[in-house]
Structure 1
Amino acid sequence: MHIELSPMERKISVANNQNANMKKVVANLFRARFPFLYISTWEEERVLSFIRSIASDISLIKTSREVITWKLTTGLVINGKPLHDTKNPMKALEFIENYEEPSIFVLHDFHIYFGEQNRCPDFQIVRKLRDMAVNIKQSIYPKNVIFISPILLLPVELQKDITIIDFELPTFEEIMGILDEMIDVNKQNGRITINLKENEKEKLAKAALGLTLSEAENAFARAMVEDGQLDVNDVEVILKEKEQIIKKTGILEFIHSDFSMDDVGGLENLKRWLKKRNKSWLESAQRYGLPSPKGVLITGVPGCGKSLISKAISAMWQLPLLRLDIGKIFSGVVGSSEENMRKAIKTAEAIAPSILWIDEIEKGFSGVQSTGDSGTTSRVFGHFLTWMQEKTKPVFVVATANNISSLPPEFLRKGRFDEVFFVDLPTYRERVEIFRVHLNKRLKDPRATGTFTVSEEILNKLASLTEGFIGAEIEQIVIDGLFEAFFEERSVTFEDFEKACKKIVPLSVTQAEQIQKIREWANVRAVTATPREDLEEYVASDSNSHDDICRLSGGRTIDF
């Protein structure tokens, strides 16, 4: 029996060659006479192509079967022809039960009869399906029924009769197949300029992971028509498509980061560590034998660049940055907090490779040790820890914390984070770089600069005046100096910044005891984000010995 495939299905059938193992599993379920299967997916066309490829392959299923679909709008459709009076679900089920041919029935959106949005299921249909389960198993004609729906919804009465099949989103190979075909088609008409090396094409396909085939095809098409060409810079277009997925969850937030690593002054040790892991999520890295990095925990003094560098990773790696607000996870409805965490993780994995950023994680999980919420926080935290340990999808977790001592020890053990970095008060050299970043960023207008120039002499003077200042305080000094000059309607001078320095009482003075405790914790548990040469210069500038490094700066001095 010949089945004509649609153009979309022909494209999908090429990609489905990568799903041999999945095909074998589903074919065995068909042969074993499993009466009801349930596939939760948005990709109806891709699933239909997948099922038809199995139904016609006698090497898998032994007896070829006819694929018959049902929709509320068309009823049952056989060989492209709708059957009269089968839009009614009971009539359709009766036809299926009495049909005397080897067949696979695919029922679209049948979950509306299973009860949704606090509505009770249609018990007549549920009862009919339970009766059919026995008849389908015992029929001399091999038959199976597959429910396809965007959501997974099962009434309790049918949970023992229906088998759920996990139909994953398109693989890297499938998306590469779509991209290659679109490039080949374009070569024939020559309307779009293709400027992609093999590794750049791989980067585009990887960026599209987490999209359906239709969404990936739309993203590639959009990238082509926006500027008349397709190149590696079109990764940004792919990320915009992924942003739509995030917006619909309501739990995760898609962060548009305008920062780059050049906007981060100092922390060169951490920067080098991150730079070495760039492109580690590509297929070429996996072939090389490298696993995708799990994540990094950045702790240290507040206001010293932890959140800033988290945003800069996204720009360096060209991966979507998702912020998980732990507060949105917890809800007043019993059981919903655990489900929210599962949903957030599933979404992050769906658009992988991605970066999952959790800011001030110690505050979000502050109730782990308590029992005031009936253990909800502990269960959510436990689920998150298990996922971090066992995750296989390339989701890089960036967690920041100010008071790391409030987190349970199991959170810090190896296998969950690749490394724990400590960000301390900026050293002399780092303060120079932080001033350079903020002055160059803000001194754009000639009316503001006048004769003032950002010279090494000026930067060194400012760094000397700000011993013990955090990065946020240095930024505020630049802003306060500009306000002073703007108020007096003149260009800025060094004296404006010098005056601003004297006004600020740094955090290192107001919270000296807390900072010392953080440093003592980090000395044996974390790696300093500042390289050894900067620390030595810091110690030398204060006329201290090298033995004072551990006292003046927390974290082990390991260079990457």
Structure 2
Amino acid sequence: MNFETEIKLLISSNNTIIYIMTEEEDRLEYTIYQISQKIFQKKINTWDFIDGYKNNPNYKENAKKNPLQALEIIEKDLSQTPEIFFLKDFHFFINDLSIIRKIKNLSKLIKINNKYIIISGTELEIPTTLKEYIHKVKFPLPNKKEIQIELIRLFKILKITNELSLENLSIAYKGFSISRIRKSITRIIINKELNNKIFDIILKEKKRFIEQTDILNFHSNTEKLEEIGGLNNLKKWLKMRSYTFSKKAQQYGIPKPRGILLTGIQGTGKSLCAKTISKQWNLPLLKLDVSKIFASILGESEKKIQQMINICEQVSPCILWIDEIDKIFTKYNNNNDSGTTNRVTNIFLTWLSEKNSYIFIVATANNINNLPLEIIRKGRFDEIFFLNLPNFEERLNIFQIHLKNLRPLTWKKYNIHYLSKITIKFSGSEIKQAIIEAMYNAFYENREFKTKDIVDAIKLMIPIAFTDEIAISNLQLWYKSGKIRLA
């Protein structure tokens, strides 16, 4: 159901007071005007705090700097003519006792007189005493079709003959408001950059916009799936789903993929996998900054997790990377946080179950035993993968990948067979670190590093597997029980 249909349905169902959350006031006003013309064949009456009422000579300039009077004018209009009153930024006054009482009194009267009040604002909260009287709606950002229409209009006005695909351009601008799209196109034209680099420019603008929220980080997708050693089951699974976000997949009827949970001890490549999925699927990667979610002010954490969800839905299709999810959502709740952790977890779980947007979640966990059962039960994620320590063949592959990157012409001179043999219980990141350590030592002695340098570095290292045997044992039990799949 699109927004216009939803508002028409609310009005026809006698919802006389509607609160619409948006930062696109002008676009909302235009949309409400169009709805009013279609169902009532009449203009809307708009009010704002500074100028009072506009658009209607009977109320013009009335109720300046007086929100209570703005409601009293609606109350005094006893005509039976259906009308919409659009009150801008009225959420700033909605907690006032006199406003609350007036809205309650008005709610009965305007039903009789066919009057409808639409309030716009940027905050989602409504006083508990008014929740029965006001219906909340979120004004969605422009969809792909609306963006295409706007781009065609802009290109016509600016006399641009553009060879770029409108389909790709509208996808790139997903998550932008109409005003932001206009500013972006204007800036691109002024700088004479309307070419294939336009997508890089839009991506940079999207990155700035996301990181301004101070909750999510925008990661560049540079790592390739081929640069990961081992994990053949996971690689195959990801390749088979590479096109699940495409239009062809939608027409085929494939359900939207939900996400995966990657579990294993540190250094087994969980974070690297999140980055490679972004590259493989050519989707933006957003990383949740956990430290920014939990705030000291009561109610702030719930707002932040909701804001995170809103941003992801605006930017979709995208990948949301939640690193070390076992540190955020844990079954060992802190009883001293006034229930904040429980509320944040419930908001996230509800969204995880109900989300219908193209957001693929990649969550990583070092210890799956700490996670609540509600998160790891079937249906939350498409699959749970266990990233075990690499076996001999996988270690060969890991040594080959790293040495090829560092010494593309001479990598074959290193005895990777022997190196793989002596690195039992080493993780992929520990193997990489051993090579780097060997390079530092050889560079200090002003010579090229050799196999022996890597061997010496390996001998000095204590793999995490020797210090975290309990965690590995627990994960292997999960795998043997069939609840998680080997990556």
**TM-score if structure 1 supplies the norm length?**
0.76
Q: Which amino acid aligns with 1:351?
A: V
Residue number among 20, 27, 33 corresponding to 1:39 in the alignment: 20
Q: Which moved more, 1:311-320 or 1:37-46?
A: 311-320
1:484 CA displacement:
1.0
Q: Which amino acid aligns with 2:8?
A: K
1:54 CA displacement:
1.8
State the distance in 2 between where 1:380 and 1:522 align.
29
State the distance in 1 between where 2:53 and 2:347 align.
43
State the distance in 2 between where 1:312 and 1:219 align.
29
* 3-state SS of 2:12 partner: helix
State the distance in 1 between where 2:384 and 2:315 align.
25
State the distance in 2 between where 1:216 and 1:394 align.
21
Residue number among 52, 55, 58 corresponding to 1:78 in the alignment: 55
**Is the Cα contact below 8 Å between 2:75 and 2:110 reproduced in 1?**
yes
1:132 CA displacement:
4.0
**TM-score if structure 2 supplies the norm length?**
0.86
Instruction: State yes or no: 1:107 paired with 2:87.
Output: yes
State the distance in 1 between where 2:439 and 2:145 align.
54
Instruction: State yes or no: 1:137 paired with 2:118.
Output: no
State the distance in 2 between where 1:278 and 1:236 align.
21
1:393 CA displacement:
1.5
Q: 1:159 to 1:509 in 2, by over 3 A?
A: closer
Provide Cα deviations, 1:272-294, integer angstroms capped at 9, x if missing partner: 21122223223332112112210
1:360 CA displacement:
1.8
Partner of 2:484: 526
Q: Which amino acid aligns with 1:114?
A: I
Q: 1:276 to 1:215 in 2, by over 3 A?
A: farther
Q: Which moved more, 1:45-54 or 1:498-507?
A: 498-507
State the distance in 2 between where 1:378 and 1:93 align.
39
1:93 CA displacement:
4.1
1:222 CA displacement:
5.1
Larger radius of gyration: 1
1:70 CA displacement:
1.8
Q: 1:405 to 1:164 in 2, by over 3 A?
A: closer
Q: Which amino acid aligns with 1:437?
A: I
Q: Which amino acid aligns with 2:28?
A: V
State the distance in 2 between where 1:302 and 1:392 align.
32
State the distance in 2 between where 1:207 and 1:364 align.
31
State the distance in 1 between where 2:335 and 2:304 align.
20
Q: Which moved more, 1:48-57 or 1:337-346?
A: 337-346
Instruction: State yes or no: 1:173 paired with 2:138.
Output: no
Q: 1:419 to 1:388 in 2, by over 3 A?
A: same
**Is the Cα contact below 8 Å between 2:262 and 2:270 reproduced in 1?**
yes
Partner of 1:28: 12
* 3-state SS of 1:229 partner: coil
Partner of 1:310: 274
State the distance in 2 between where 1:153 and 1:512 align.
48
Residue number among 108, 118, 123 corresponding to 1:146 in the alignment: 118
Partner of 1:243: 207
State the distance in 2 between where 1:413 and 1:127 align.
46
* 3-state SS of 1:357 partner: strand
State the distance in 2 between where 1:479 and 1:402 align.
24
Structure 1: state its 5+ residue gaps. 1-16, 116-120, 445-451, 530-560
Partner of 2:263: 299
**Is the Cα contact below 8 Å between 1:70 and 1:107 reproduced in 2?**
yes
Structure 2: state its 5+ residue gaps. none
State the distance in 2 between where 1:137 and 1:215 align.
38
Q: Which amino acid aligns with 1:137?
A: K
**Is the Cα contact below 8 Å between 2:16 and 2:117 reproduced in 1?**
yes
State the distance in 2 between where 1:457 and 1:493 align.
7
State the distance in 2 between where 1:223 and 1:288 align.
37
**Is the Cα contact below 8 Å between 2:353 and 2:380 reproduced in 1?**
yes
Residue number among 7, 32, 38 corresponding to 1:51 in the alignment: 32
Q: Which amino acid aligns with 1:50?
A: T
* 3-state SS of 1:296 partner: strand
**Is the Cα contact below 8 Å between 1:202 and 1:282 reproduced in 2?**
no
**Is the Cα contact below 8 Å between 2:288 and 2:322 reproduced in 1?**
yes
* 3-state SS of 2:459 partner: helix
> Which runs of structure 2 are paired with 1:369-448 in the superposition (5 Å)?
373=337, 375-443=339-407
State the distance in 2 between where 1:376 and 1:128 align.
34
State the distance in 2 between where 1:40 and 1:493 align.
63
* 3-state SS of 2:243 partner: coil
State the distance in 2 between where 1:207 and 1:379 align.
34
1:296 CA displacement:
0.4
1:94 CA displacement:
4.4
| Root mean square deviation, CA, Å | 3.3
State the distance in 2 between where 1:206 and 1:291 align.
20
Identity %: 36
Q: 1:404 to 1:95 in 2, by over 3 A?
A: closer
* 3-state SS of 1:400 partner: strand
State the distance in 2 between where 1:152 and 1:278 align.
36
Count residues in correspondence: 483
Provide Cα deviations, 1:110-139, integer angstroms capped at 9, x if missing partner: 222234xxxxx2x44444444444443344
State the distance in 1 between where 2:73 and 2:378 align.
58
**Is the Cα contact below 8 Å between 2:216 and 2:288 reproduced in 1?**
yes
Partner of 2:163: 194
Provide Cα deviations, 1:141-174, integer angstroms capped at 9, x if missing partner: x432221122235445544433323322222322
